[in-house]
Structure 1
Amino acid sequence: MNDQIKKMELEESLVMNFVQDFFVTYDKKRHIMHSSFPEDGTFVVLGNRICGHSAIQQAMLTMATTTHQLLSIDIQHVALPLGENDSMYQVLCAGEVEFGEDTQIHGFTASLLVYLKKPNVLNVVSFNERCQWPKLS
């Protein structure tokens, strides 16, 4: 196996762990969620676009609680002319989510653009989640 493939597999493993931790933070540690994004990062949920640390933090603290279960994670390297120590990955996720006290399970998909600055600094450049929200009463 050549060094390039080994390097890519190591990076994909780092991104996989980061994404799993990202969803744990989303569900259980929202008060620090904004730290996963650069200052100009974008968080989109159900078409609502939120940019920047303070706006993301404020939005996360006002949203209904969630419990995500990831069923699928697909990681693709994005071939961009970045610096030697930088990489970009597009991550597509699918799974199930519960909202607040509602025990009804909803399907969701999410896409993340993850920036990796070697050796192990990762940020979400953009996050977009789509799902079926519970019915409003």
Structure 2
Amino acid sequence: MRTLTQRAAMIFGVAFVLFAVMGFLLPGGMGMESHPDPAPDLLGMFPVNLLHNLVHLAFGVWGLLAARSLSASRGYHRGAAVIYVVLAILGFVAPTGFGLVPLGGMDPALHLVLAAGLGYFGFVHREAGARV
């Protein structure tokens, strides 16, 4: 039986994979535009490009694989939370991701929300009676 932390890793993983696929399917989603203005917008507000979509796919696969054990799930949540805090800061400092990936627009706010959710399961939530 999966713990809540493992189920959360699975949910994050599925969501990241779905958003990656949606990003790939956007007109221009396979391009490498990094400025938020010409880059295609996922859900009408989050600029993406090929590299951005590949990162989402990697986080999704990581989450799906991590969901197989409690310790891996906890590690996924911790690592991803820290990475998303860094990405949020980069979004404010370098919204074009140094010419590689669009991080501006609404992305910093989304990255902070993701970091909070991931961080909760990585650093705060404890499974009742579970051993790591």
**Same fold by TM (over 0.5)?**
no
Higher relative contact order (CA 8 A, sep 6+): 2
| Bigger helix fraction | 2
Question: Normalised by the size of structure 1, how large is the TM-score?
Answer: 0.29
Greater per-residue strand proportion: 1
